[in-house]
Chain A
Amino acid sequence: MEALKMPSIAENICGLIGRKAILRLKDIHDASKLINDIFYWTLLSPLKGKRLRFRASISEMVKAGYHSVPIVALISLFVGIILALQAAYQLRRFGALIYVANLVGVSITRELGPILTAIIVAGRSGSAFAAEIGSMKAAEEVDALISMGINPVRFLVVPKLIALMVMLPALTLLSDCIGILGGFLLSITALEIHPYNYFQQTINALLIKDILTGLMKAWVFSIVITIVGAYEGFRVGGGAEEVGRRTTASVVLSIFLVIVFDLFFTTLFYFFT
Protein backbone atom coordinates (compact mmCIF):
# COMPACT_ATOMS: atom_id res chain seq x y z
CA MET A 1 0.00 0.00 0.00
CA GLU A 2 3.07 2.27 -0.27
CA ALA A 3 1.75 4.03 -3.39
CA LEU A 4 -1.51 5.12 -1.77
CA LYS A 5 -0.11 6.97 1.26
CA MET A 6 -1.10 10.58 1.73
CA PRO A 7 1.51 13.12 0.57
CA SER A 8 3.48 14.56 3.44
CA ILE A 9 3.45 18.25 4.30
CA ALA A 10 6.88 18.63 2.73
CA GLU A 11 5.62 17.10 -0.50
CA ASN A 12 2.61 19.41 -0.46
CA ILE A 13 4.79 22.47 0.01
CA CYS A 14 7.17 21.39 -2.74
CA GLY A 15 4.22 20.74 -5.00
CA LEU A 16 2.78 24.17 -4.28
CA ILE A 17 6.09 25.92 -4.98
CA GLY A 18 6.51 23.89 -8.14
CA ARG A 19 3.04 24.72 -9.44
CA LYS A 20 3.50 28.44 -8.74
CA ALA A 21 6.97 28.42 -10.28
CA ILE A 22 5.76 26.73 -13.45
CA LEU A 23 3.05 29.40 -13.83
CA ARG A 24 5.66 32.12 -13.31
CA LEU A 25 8.01 30.40 -15.73
CA LYS A 26 5.58 31.07 -18.57
CA ASP A 27 5.46 34.77 -17.61
CA ILE A 28 9.24 34.92 -17.65
CA HIS A 29 9.30 33.19 -21.00
CA ASP A 30 6.72 35.61 -22.44
CA ALA A 31 8.53 38.64 -21.04
CA SER A 32 11.93 37.60 -22.30
CA LYS A 33 10.52 36.78 -25.71
CA LEU A 34 8.94 40.23 -25.86
CA ILE A 35 12.20 41.92 -24.80
CA ASN A 36 14.06 39.89 -27.39
CA ASP A 37 11.55 40.87 -30.10
CA ILE A 38 11.64 44.54 -29.13
CA PHE A 39 15.41 44.73 -29.40
CA TYR A 40 15.45 42.70 -32.60
CA TRP A 41 12.95 45.00 -34.32
CA THR A 42 14.52 48.19 -32.93
CA LEU A 43 18.21 47.49 -33.41
CA LEU A 44 18.78 44.58 -35.79
CA SER A 45 16.00 44.65 -38.35
CA PRO A 46 16.79 48.23 -39.55
CA LEU A 47 20.26 46.90 -40.44
CA LYS A 48 18.57 44.29 -42.63
CA GLY A 49 16.77 47.00 -44.56
CA LYS A 50 13.39 46.96 -42.81
CA ARG A 51 12.21 50.50 -42.35
CA LEU A 52 11.44 51.89 -38.91
CA ARG A 53 8.12 53.67 -38.71
CA PHE A 54 9.41 57.20 -38.15
CA ARG A 55 6.11 58.90 -38.81
CA ALA A 56 4.43 56.78 -36.13
CA SER A 57 7.36 57.48 -33.77
CA ILE A 58 6.86 61.21 -34.21
CA SER A 59 3.15 61.00 -33.48
CA GLU A 60 3.98 58.95 -30.36
CA MET A 61 6.54 61.59 -29.37
CA VAL A 62 3.87 64.25 -29.56
CA LYS A 63 1.47 62.16 -27.47
CA ALA A 64 3.95 60.93 -24.87
CA GLY A 65 6.36 63.87 -24.82
CA TYR A 66 4.89 67.13 -25.96
CA HIS A 67 1.58 66.63 -24.22
CA SER A 68 3.36 65.82 -20.93
CA VAL A 69 5.23 69.14 -20.89
CA PRO A 70 2.68 71.13 -18.83
CA ILE A 71 2.25 68.54 -16.09
CA VAL A 72 5.97 67.77 -15.87
CA ALA A 73 6.78 71.48 -15.72
CA LEU A 74 4.20 72.21 -13.05
CA ILE A 75 5.16 69.31 -10.81
CA SER A 76 8.87 70.07 -11.17
CA LEU A 77 8.29 73.70 -10.28
CA PHE A 78 6.41 72.72 -7.13
CA VAL A 79 8.97 70.11 -6.14
CA GLY A 80 11.76 72.66 -6.62
CA ILE A 81 9.96 75.05 -4.27
CA ILE A 82 9.23 72.31 -1.72
CA LEU A 83 12.83 71.15 -1.78
CA ALA A 84 14.12 74.68 -1.23
CA LEU A 85 11.73 75.18 1.70
CA GLN A 86 12.67 71.89 3.34
CA ALA A 87 16.38 72.57 2.85
CA ALA A 88 16.06 76.06 4.31
CA TYR A 89 14.33 74.64 7.37
CA GLN A 90 17.52 72.81 8.34
CA LEU A 91 20.22 75.00 6.80
CA ARG A 92 18.89 78.20 8.40
CA ARG A 93 20.02 76.89 11.81
CA PHE A 94 23.60 76.74 10.63
CA GLY A 95 23.43 80.06 8.84
CA ALA A 96 24.17 78.22 5.64
CA LEU A 97 21.13 79.26 3.65
CA ILE A 98 23.13 79.72 0.45
CA TYR A 99 23.63 75.93 0.35
CA VAL A 100 19.95 75.60 -0.55
CA ALA A 101 21.20 76.17 -4.10
CA ASN A 102 23.53 73.17 -3.91
CA LEU A 103 20.94 70.91 -2.40
CA VAL A 104 18.22 71.83 -4.85
CA GLY A 105 20.54 71.68 -7.87
CA VAL A 106 22.13 68.34 -7.06
CA SER A 107 19.05 66.50 -5.85
CA ILE A 108 16.93 67.66 -8.76
CA THR A 109 19.42 66.77 -11.48
CA ARG A 110 20.68 63.52 -9.97
CA GLU A 111 17.48 62.13 -8.57
CA LEU A 112 14.17 63.96 -8.52
CA GLY A 113 14.12 65.19 -12.11
CA PRO A 114 14.52 61.74 -13.65
CA ILE A 115 12.30 59.88 -11.21
CA LEU A 116 9.43 62.38 -11.12
CA THR A 117 9.38 62.53 -14.89
CA ALA A 118 9.49 58.74 -15.14
CA ILE A 119 6.59 58.37 -12.71
CA ILE A 120 4.50 60.93 -14.57
CA VAL A 121 5.26 59.31 -17.91
CA ALA A 122 4.57 55.82 -16.51
CA GLY A 123 1.19 57.06 -15.33
CA ARG A 124 0.36 58.87 -18.56
CA SER A 125 2.02 56.93 -21.36
CA GLY A 126 2.85 53.52 -19.89
CA SER A 127 -0.79 53.03 -18.99
CA ALA A 128 -1.86 54.32 -22.41
CA PHE A 129 0.44 51.79 -24.10
CA ALA A 130 -1.03 48.94 -22.06
CA ALA A 131 -4.60 50.08 -22.72
CA GLU A 132 -4.03 50.61 -26.44
CA ILE A 133 -2.30 47.29 -27.05
CA GLY A 134 -4.67 45.49 -24.67
CA SER A 135 -7.83 46.71 -26.37
CA MET A 136 -6.34 45.88 -29.77
CA LYS A 137 -5.59 42.40 -28.49
CA ALA A 138 -9.15 42.03 -27.20
CA ALA A 139 -10.63 43.13 -30.54
CA GLU A 140 -8.48 40.66 -32.53
CA GLU A 141 -6.64 43.62 -34.10
CA VAL A 142 -3.30 42.17 -33.05
CA ASP A 143 -4.23 38.86 -34.70
CA ALA A 144 -5.25 40.80 -37.80
CA LEU A 145 -1.84 42.49 -37.92
CA ILE A 146 -0.09 39.11 -37.66
CA SER A 147 -2.32 37.64 -40.35
CA MET A 148 -1.36 40.52 -42.65
CA GLY A 149 2.29 39.62 -42.13
CA ILE A 150 2.89 42.69 -39.97
CA ASN A 151 4.79 42.03 -36.75
CA PRO A 152 2.82 43.64 -33.92
CA VAL A 153 5.96 44.40 -31.91
CA ARG A 154 7.49 46.24 -34.84
CA PHE A 155 4.23 47.98 -35.68
CA LEU A 156 3.06 48.93 -32.19
CA VAL A 157 5.90 48.79 -29.70
CA VAL A 158 9.00 50.00 -31.54
CA PRO A 159 7.61 53.47 -32.39
CA LYS A 160 6.62 53.90 -28.74
CA LEU A 161 10.06 52.80 -27.56
CA ILE A 162 11.84 55.20 -29.89
CA ALA A 163 9.50 58.00 -28.85
CA LEU A 164 10.07 57.46 -25.13
CA MET A 165 13.83 56.96 -25.55
CA VAL A 166 13.97 60.45 -27.04
CA MET A 167 11.28 62.18 -25.02
CA LEU A 168 11.94 60.93 -21.49
CA PRO A 169 15.50 62.36 -21.34
CA ALA A 170 14.20 65.54 -22.97
CA LEU A 171 11.41 65.85 -20.40
CA THR A 172 13.94 65.12 -17.65
CA LEU A 173 16.12 67.98 -18.86
CA LEU A 174 13.09 70.24 -18.80
CA SER A 175 12.20 69.00 -15.33
CA ASP A 176 15.78 69.74 -14.15
CA CYS A 177 15.61 73.32 -15.43
CA ILE A 178 12.13 74.05 -14.08
CA GLY A 179 12.88 72.39 -10.73
CA ILE A 180 15.96 74.52 -10.26
CA LEU A 181 13.94 77.55 -11.34
CA GLY A 182 11.39 76.71 -8.63
CA GLY A 183 14.11 76.60 -5.96
CA PHE A 184 15.56 79.81 -7.36
CA LEU A 185 12.26 81.68 -7.28
CA LEU A 186 11.59 80.70 -3.69
CA SER A 187 15.14 81.52 -2.56
CA ILE A 188 15.25 84.99 -4.05
CA THR A 189 11.87 85.89 -2.59
CA ALA A 190 11.12 84.11 0.69
CA LEU A 191 14.72 83.32 1.65
CA GLU A 192 16.08 86.67 0.41
CA ILE A 193 19.14 85.21 -1.26
CA HIS A 194 20.62 87.43 -3.95
CA PRO A 195 19.73 86.04 -7.39
CA TYR A 196 23.27 86.28 -8.69
CA ASN A 197 24.68 84.48 -5.65
CA TYR A 198 22.12 81.70 -6.00
CA PHE A 199 22.92 81.36 -9.68
CA GLN A 200 26.68 81.23 -9.06
CA GLN A 201 26.25 78.75 -6.22
CA THR A 202 24.17 76.44 -8.44
CA ILE A 203 26.69 76.61 -11.29
CA ASN A 204 29.53 75.79 -8.90
CA ALA A 205 27.67 72.93 -7.26
CA LEU A 206 26.56 71.17 -10.41
CA LEU A 207 28.86 68.95 -12.37
CA ILE A 208 28.16 67.82 -15.92
CA LYS A 209 28.31 64.33 -14.45
CA ASP A 210 25.26 65.01 -12.28
CA ILE A 211 23.14 65.96 -15.25
CA LEU A 212 24.42 63.14 -17.44
CA THR A 213 23.83 60.40 -14.89
CA GLY A 214 20.28 61.73 -14.47
CA LEU A 215 19.69 61.60 -18.21
CA MET A 216 21.17 58.12 -18.40
CA LYS A 217 18.70 56.96 -15.76
CA ALA A 218 15.86 58.60 -17.67
CA TRP A 219 16.89 56.70 -20.75
CA VAL A 220 16.80 53.37 -18.89
CA PHE A 221 13.42 54.28 -17.36
CA SER A 222 12.02 54.93 -20.83
CA ILE A 223 12.92 51.37 -21.86
CA VAL A 224 11.44 49.94 -18.64
CA ILE A 225 8.15 51.85 -19.03
CA THR A 226 7.69 50.84 -22.67
CA ILE A 227 8.46 47.17 -22.06
CA VAL A 228 6.14 46.94 -19.05
CA GLY A 229 3.31 48.72 -20.91
CA ALA A 230 3.69 46.47 -23.93
CA TYR A 231 4.04 43.31 -21.84
CA GLU A 232 0.88 43.98 -19.86
CA GLY A 233 -0.97 44.99 -23.03
CA PHE A 234 -0.08 41.80 -24.87
CA ARG A 235 -1.11 39.72 -21.85
CA VAL A 236 -4.76 40.73 -22.31
CA GLY A 237 -6.71 37.66 -23.35
CA GLY A 238 -10.32 38.45 -22.63
CA GLY A 239 -12.40 41.55 -22.86
CA ALA A 240 -12.64 45.12 -21.62
CA GLU A 241 -12.44 44.25 -17.95
CA GLU A 242 -9.05 42.68 -18.36
CA VAL A 243 -7.80 45.73 -20.28
CA GLY A 244 -8.54 47.81 -17.18
CA ARG A 245 -6.84 45.33 -14.90
CA ARG A 246 -3.73 45.12 -17.09
CA THR A 247 -3.53 48.91 -17.37
CA THR A 248 -3.51 49.25 -13.59
CA ALA A 249 -0.94 46.47 -13.30
CA SER A 250 1.28 48.18 -15.85
CA VAL A 251 1.36 51.44 -13.87
CA VAL A 252 2.11 49.69 -10.59
CA LEU A 253 4.76 47.44 -12.09
CA SER A 254 6.48 50.16 -14.09
CA ILE A 255 6.67 52.55 -11.12
CA PHE A 256 8.04 49.71 -9.00
CA LEU A 257 10.63 48.75 -11.60
CA VAL A 258 11.60 52.38 -12.19
CA ILE A 259 12.42 52.67 -8.49
CA VAL A 260 14.31 49.36 -8.48
CA PHE A 261 16.41 50.45 -11.44
CA ASP A 262 16.89 53.85 -9.82
CA LEU A 263 18.29 52.19 -6.72
CA PHE A 264 20.60 50.07 -8.86
CA PHE A 265 21.93 52.95 -10.93
CA THR A 266 22.25 55.34 -7.99
CA THR A 267 24.35 52.74 -6.20
CA LEU A 268 26.39 52.17 -9.33
CA PHE A 269 27.02 55.87 -9.88
CA TYR A 270 27.84 56.42 -6.20
CA PHE A 271 30.63 53.90 -6.25
CA PHE A 272 31.91 54.14 -9.81
CA THR A 273 31.86 57.77 -10.87
Chain B
Amino acid sequence: MENAIEVRNLVTYYGDREILKNISFSTLQGETTVILGGSGCGKSTLLKHLIGLLKPMRGNILIRGKDITLMEEEELDEVRKKMGVLFQGAALLNSITVSDNVALPIREHTRLKESTIQIMVRMKLDLVGLSGFEHLYPSQLSGGMKKRAGLARAMALDPKMLFFDEPSAGLDPVTAAGLDELILKLKHVFKMTIVVVTHELSSVFTIADDVIMLDSGEVIFSGTLDQLKASNHPRVRMFLERRPEKETYLPEDYFRIIAGD
Protein backbone atom coordinates (compact mmCIF):
# COMPACT_ATOMS: atom_id res chain seq x y z
CA MET B 1 0.00 0.00 0.00
CA GLU B 2 1.08 3.55 -0.72
CA ASN B 3 2.00 6.09 1.91
CA ALA B 4 -0.61 8.82 2.29
CA ILE B 5 1.48 11.00 4.56
CA GLU B 6 5.16 10.80 5.20
CA VAL B 7 6.86 13.01 7.76
CA ARG B 8 10.64 13.16 7.78
CA ASN B 9 12.73 14.68 10.58
CA LEU B 10 10.22 17.38 11.45
CA VAL B 11 11.53 20.02 13.84
CA THR B 12 9.61 23.07 14.94
CA TYR B 13 9.93 25.85 17.47
CA TYR B 14 7.59 28.36 19.13
CA GLY B 15 10.03 31.14 19.90
CA ASP B 16 12.93 29.41 21.66
CA ARG B 17 10.92 26.38 22.76
CA GLU B 18 11.35 23.23 20.72
CA ILE B 19 7.87 21.77 20.21
CA LEU B 20 8.48 18.92 17.79
CA LYS B 21 11.85 17.19 18.06
CA ASN B 22 12.86 15.36 14.94
CA ILE B 23 9.62 13.53 14.22
CA SER B 24 9.40 10.89 11.49
CA PHE B 25 6.48 8.60 10.66
CA SER B 26 4.26 7.61 7.79
CA THR B 27 0.62 6.66 7.40
CA LEU B 28 -0.98 4.33 4.88
CA GLN B 29 -3.63 5.17 2.35
CA GLY B 30 -7.16 4.14 3.33
CA GLU B 31 -6.27 3.60 6.98
CA THR B 32 -7.18 5.49 10.11
CA THR B 33 -4.17 6.75 11.98
CA VAL B 34 -4.55 8.16 15.45
CA ILE B 35 -2.01 10.60 16.81
CA LEU B 36 -2.16 10.05 20.54
CA GLY B 37 -0.59 11.99 23.35
CA GLY B 38 -1.16 13.99 26.50
CA SER B 39 -1.88 17.71 26.65
CA GLY B 40 0.98 19.87 25.42
CA CYS B 41 2.87 17.04 23.73
CA GLY B 42 2.71 18.86 20.38
CA LYS B 43 0.04 16.79 18.68
CA SER B 44 -2.12 19.76 17.65
CA THR B 45 0.98 21.52 16.38
CA LEU B 46 1.82 18.43 14.36
CA LEU B 47 -1.68 18.45 12.86
CA LYS B 48 -1.31 22.11 11.90
CA HIS B 49 1.86 21.20 10.04
CA LEU B 50 0.16 18.31 8.24
CA ILE B 51 -2.57 20.58 6.88
CA GLY B 52 -0.09 23.28 5.93
CA LEU B 53 -1.13 25.93 8.46
CA LEU B 54 2.37 26.08 9.93
CA LYS B 55 5.73 25.71 8.24
CA PRO B 56 8.33 23.62 10.03
CA MET B 57 11.79 24.84 10.93
CA ARG B 58 13.35 21.75 9.38
CA GLY B 59 12.14 18.54 7.85
CA ASN B 60 9.73 17.47 5.13
CA ILE B 61 6.07 16.55 4.97
CA LEU B 62 5.02 14.52 1.96
CA ILE B 63 1.30 14.30 1.20
CA ARG B 64 0.71 11.63 -1.44
CA GLY B 65 4.32 11.91 -2.46
CA LYS B 66 4.47 15.71 -2.76
CA ASP B 67 6.43 17.83 -0.31
CA ILE B 68 4.08 20.49 1.06
CA THR B 69 6.84 22.32 2.94
CA LEU B 70 8.34 23.43 -0.38
CA MET B 71 5.08 24.58 -1.94
CA GLU B 72 3.93 28.11 -2.71
CA GLU B 73 0.61 29.17 -1.21
CA GLU B 74 -1.37 28.63 -4.44
CA GLU B 75 0.03 25.17 -5.00
CA LEU B 76 -0.74 24.37 -1.38
CA ASP B 77 -4.36 25.46 -1.89
CA GLU B 78 -4.72 22.75 -4.55
CA VAL B 79 -3.57 20.15 -2.01
CA ARG B 80 -5.89 21.58 0.64
CA LYS B 81 -8.90 21.20 -1.65
CA LYS B 82 -8.28 17.45 -1.54
CA MET B 83 -8.29 17.28 2.23
CA GLY B 84 -10.95 18.05 4.80
CA VAL B 85 -10.31 19.24 8.33
CA LEU B 86 -12.62 19.14 11.33
CA PHE B 87 -11.35 21.58 13.94
CA GLN B 88 -11.74 21.14 17.66
CA GLY B 89 -14.52 23.72 17.98
CA ALA B 90 -15.84 22.85 14.49
CA ALA B 91 -14.86 26.40 13.35
CA LEU B 92 -18.09 27.01 11.45
CA LEU B 93 -18.47 30.58 10.22
CA ASN B 94 -20.92 32.04 12.70
CA SER B 95 -22.31 34.70 10.40
CA ILE B 96 -23.82 32.30 7.85
CA THR B 97 -26.23 29.36 8.06
CA VAL B 98 -25.24 25.71 8.29
CA SER B 99 -26.07 25.09 4.64
CA ASP B 100 -24.04 28.14 3.54
CA ASN B 101 -21.13 26.84 5.62
CA VAL B 102 -21.24 23.50 3.84
CA ALA B 103 -21.72 25.19 0.48
CA LEU B 104 -18.80 27.57 1.05
CA PRO B 105 -15.95 25.43 -0.33
CA ILE B 106 -18.14 24.29 -3.23
CA ARG B 107 -19.06 27.88 -4.13
CA GLU B 108 -15.46 29.05 -3.83
CA HIS B 109 -13.79 26.29 -5.79
CA THR B 110 -16.30 25.21 -8.41
CA ARG B 111 -18.66 26.93 -10.82
CA LEU B 112 -21.59 24.62 -10.25
CA LYS B 113 -25.15 25.86 -10.52
CA GLU B 114 -26.84 26.93 -7.30
CA SER B 115 -29.43 24.14 -7.60
CA THR B 116 -26.68 21.52 -7.87
CA ILE B 117 -24.89 23.01 -4.88
CA GLN B 118 -28.08 22.83 -2.83
CA ILE B 119 -28.48 19.12 -3.65
CA MET B 120 -24.85 18.45 -2.71
CA VAL B 121 -25.27 20.30 0.57
CA ARG B 122 -28.36 18.29 1.45
CA MET B 123 -26.53 15.05 0.65
CA LYS B 124 -23.61 15.96 2.88
CA LEU B 125 -25.85 17.02 5.75
CA ASP B 126 -27.85 13.83 5.40
CA LEU B 127 -24.61 11.82 5.57
CA VAL B 128 -23.80 13.29 8.98
CA GLY B 129 -27.41 13.06 10.17
CA LEU B 130 -28.25 16.75 10.07
CA SER B 131 -31.10 16.79 7.54
CA GLY B 132 -33.53 19.55 8.29
CA PHE B 133 -31.04 21.79 10.07
CA GLU B 134 -29.94 23.63 6.90
CA HIS B 135 -31.34 27.01 7.83
CA LEU B 136 -30.10 27.23 11.39
CA TYR B 137 -27.10 29.29 12.38
CA PRO B 138 -24.12 27.59 14.07
CA SER B 139 -24.93 29.33 17.37
CA GLN B 140 -28.30 27.51 17.40
CA LEU B 141 -26.65 24.07 17.27
CA SER B 142 -25.41 21.88 20.11
CA GLY B 143 -21.72 20.93 20.39
CA GLY B 144 -22.17 17.53 18.78
CA MET B 145 -24.28 18.96 15.95
CA LYS B 146 -21.67 21.63 15.30
CA LYS B 147 -19.03 18.95 14.88
CA ARG B 148 -21.27 17.03 12.52
CA ALA B 149 -21.89 20.20 10.50
CA GLY B 150 -18.15 20.86 10.48
CA LEU B 151 -17.62 17.34 9.22
CA ALA B 152 -20.18 17.89 6.46
CA ARG B 153 -18.24 20.98 5.42
CA ALA B 154 -14.93 19.11 5.52
CA MET B 155 -16.50 16.49 3.22
CA ALA B 156 -18.00 19.04 0.84
CA LEU B 157 -15.45 18.60 -1.94
CA ASP B 158 -15.18 14.80 -1.49
CA PRO B 159 -11.65 14.86 -0.10
CA LYS B 160 -9.26 11.93 -0.21
CA MET B 161 -8.08 12.65 3.32
CA LEU B 162 -9.78 13.77 6.49
CA PHE B 163 -8.14 15.28 9.55
CA PHE B 164 -9.81 15.48 12.94
CA ASP B 165 -8.56 17.64 15.79
CA GLU B 166 -9.86 16.18 19.08
CA PRO B 167 -13.23 15.05 17.69
CA SER B 168 -14.59 13.96 21.07
CA ALA B 169 -13.39 16.98 23.08
CA GLY B 170 -16.24 18.59 24.95
CA LEU B 171 -18.82 15.96 23.99
CA ASP B 172 -20.75 13.57 26.22
CA PRO B 173 -19.83 9.86 25.83
CA VAL B 174 -22.90 9.04 23.76
CA THR B 175 -22.39 11.89 21.29
CA ALA B 176 -18.67 11.14 21.13
CA ALA B 177 -19.38 7.48 20.37
CA GLY B 178 -21.78 8.60 17.63
CA LEU B 179 -19.02 10.67 16.09
CA ASP B 180 -16.61 7.72 16.27
CA GLU B 181 -19.17 5.59 14.48
CA LEU B 182 -19.46 8.25 11.80
CA ILE B 183 -15.68 8.21 11.33
CA LEU B 184 -15.77 4.42 10.90
CA LYS B 185 -18.60 4.73 8.40
CA LEU B 186 -16.68 7.28 6.34
CA LYS B 187 -13.65 5.03 6.30
CA HIS B 188 -15.58 1.96 5.14
CA VAL B 189 -17.89 3.67 2.66
CA PHE B 190 -15.51 6.18 1.06
CA LYS B 191 -12.16 4.44 1.67
CA MET B 192 -10.76 7.67 3.04
CA THR B 193 -7.42 8.18 4.67
CA ILE B 194 -8.17 9.52 8.11
CA VAL B 195 -5.89 11.15 10.66
CA VAL B 196 -7.29 11.77 14.13
CA VAL B 197 -5.56 13.72 16.87
CA THR B 198 -6.89 12.79 20.28
CA HIS B 199 -6.16 11.85 23.86
CA GLU B 200 -9.41 9.91 24.29
CA LEU B 201 -8.49 6.23 24.78
CA SER B 202 -11.96 4.80 24.22
CA SER B 203 -12.21 6.36 20.79
CA VAL B 204 -8.67 5.24 19.92
CA PHE B 205 -9.69 1.61 20.50
CA THR B 206 -12.80 2.06 18.33
CA ILE B 207 -11.43 3.83 15.30
CA ALA B 208 -7.67 3.32 15.03
CA ASP B 209 -5.84 1.07 12.59
CA ASP B 210 -2.47 2.57 13.40
CA VAL B 211 -1.36 4.63 16.35
CA ILE B 212 1.41 7.15 16.70
CA MET B 213 2.09 8.28 20.21
CA LEU B 214 3.82 11.56 21.01
CA ASP B 215 5.40 12.55 24.27
CA SER B 216 6.97 16.00 24.77
CA GLY B 217 7.59 16.44 21.07
CA GLU B 218 8.94 12.98 20.30
CA VAL B 219 7.42 9.87 18.75
CA ILE B 220 7.57 7.23 21.48
CA PHE B 221 5.41 4.66 19.76
CA SER B 222 4.36 3.89 16.23
CA GLY B 223 2.52 0.76 15.15
CA THR B 224 -0.83 -1.01 15.03
CA LEU B 225 -3.47 -0.94 17.73
CA ASP B 226 -2.55 -4.45 18.91
CA GLN B 227 1.11 -3.51 19.13
CA LEU B 228 0.09 -0.50 21.23
CA LYS B 229 -1.81 -2.72 23.67
CA ALA B 230 1.20 -5.03 23.94
CA SER B 231 3.78 -2.27 24.23
CA ASN B 232 5.79 -2.11 27.42
CA HIS B 233 7.22 1.37 26.94
CA PRO B 234 6.74 2.98 30.39
CA ARG B 235 5.13 6.20 29.05
CA VAL B 236 2.75 4.22 26.84
CA ARG B 237 1.75 2.00 29.77
CA MET B 238 1.16 5.06 31.96
CA PHE B 239 -1.12 6.50 29.32
CA LEU B 240 -3.04 3.27 28.75
CA GLU B 241 -3.47 2.57 32.45
CA ARG B 242 -4.32 6.18 33.28
CA ARG B 243 -1.60 6.45 35.90
CA PRO B 244 -0.70 9.98 37.08
CA GLU B 245 2.77 11.33 36.55
CA LYS B 246 5.14 10.76 39.49
CA GLU B 247 6.73 13.77 41.10
CA THR B 248 9.81 14.23 39.02
CA TYR B 249 12.02 16.06 41.51
CA LEU B 250 13.56 15.35 44.87
CA PRO B 251 12.53 17.27 48.01
CA GLU B 252 15.76 19.34 47.96
CA ASP B 253 15.10 20.30 44.33
CA TYR B 254 11.57 21.30 45.27
CA PHE B 255 12.95 23.52 48.00
CA ARG B 256 15.30 25.14 45.51
CA ILE B 257 12.39 25.80 43.10
CA ILE B 258 10.15 27.49 45.64
CA ALA B 259 13.06 29.48 47.04
CA GLY B 260 13.50 30.83 43.51
CA ASP B 261 17.20 30.06 43.42
Chain A residues in the interface with B (C-beta under 8 A): 136, 139-141, 143-144, 146-151, 155
Contact = CB atoms under 8 A, between A and B. Distances in A.
A140 B86 CA distance: 11
Contacts of B109: 149
Given A139-B94, A143-B53, A148 B87 contact: no
B78 A144 contact: no
Given A136-B93, A139-B94, A149 B80 contact: yes
5 contacts: A144-B87, A146-B80, A148-B80, A148-B81, A148-B108
Interface in B192-249: none
A29 to B, nearest CB: 14
A90 to B, nearest CB: 51
Contacts of A150: 104-105, 108
Given A146-B53, A150-B104, A150-B108, 13 more contacts: A140-B89, A140-B91, A141-B94, A143-B53, A143-B87, A144-B87, A146-B52, A147-B53, A147-B83, A148-B80, A149-B80, A149-B81, A150-B105
Contacts of B104: 148, 150
B93 A141 contact: yes
A151 B78 CA distance: 12
A159 to B, nearest CB: 12
B106 to A, nearest CB: 10
B34 interface: no
Interface string B77-104: 1101101010111011110000000001
B78 A149 contact: yes
Nearest to A37: B73
B193 to A, nearest CB: 16
Contacts of B73: 151
Contacts of A146: 52-53, 80
Interface of B: 48, 51-53, 73, 77-78, 80-81, 83, 85, 87-89, 91-94, 104-105, 108-109, 153
B113 to A, nearest CB: 16
Contacts of A155: 108
A208 to B, nearest CB: 41
Contact of A143 (B91, B105, B153): B91
Contacts of B105: 148-150
Contact of A139 (B48, B78, B80, B89): B89
B51 A147 contact: yes
B80 A147 contact: yes
B91 A141 contact: yes
Contacts of B77: 149, 151
A228 to B, nearest CB: 21
A180 B147 CA distance: 56
Nearest to A146: B53
A144 B80 contact: no
A245 to B, nearest CB: 21
Nearest to A145: B93
B99 to A, nearest CB: 16
A50 to B, nearest CB: 10
Nearest to B101: A144
A148 B93 CA distance: 12
A139 B139 CA distance: 13
A144 B48 CA distance: 11
A148 B150 CA distance: 12
Nearest to A53: B108
A140 B87 contact: yes
A46 to B, nearest CB: 15
A84 B80 CA distance: 60
Nearest to B165: A140
Nearest to A154: B108
A151 B87 CA distance: 17
A132 to B, nearest CB: 8
Nearest to B150: A144
A141 B87 CA distance: 9
A237 to B, nearest CB: 11
A148 B101 CA distance: 11
Contacts of A151: 73, 77
A30 to B, nearest CB: 15
Contacts of A136: 93
Contacts of A141: 91-94
A136 B93 CA distance: 8
B80 to A, nearest CB: 4
A136 B53 CA distance: 16
A140 B80 contact: no
A27 to B, nearest CB: 15
Given A148-B104, A149-B105, A150-B105, A140 B88 contact: yes
A136 B101 CA distance: 14
B159 to A, nearest CB: 10
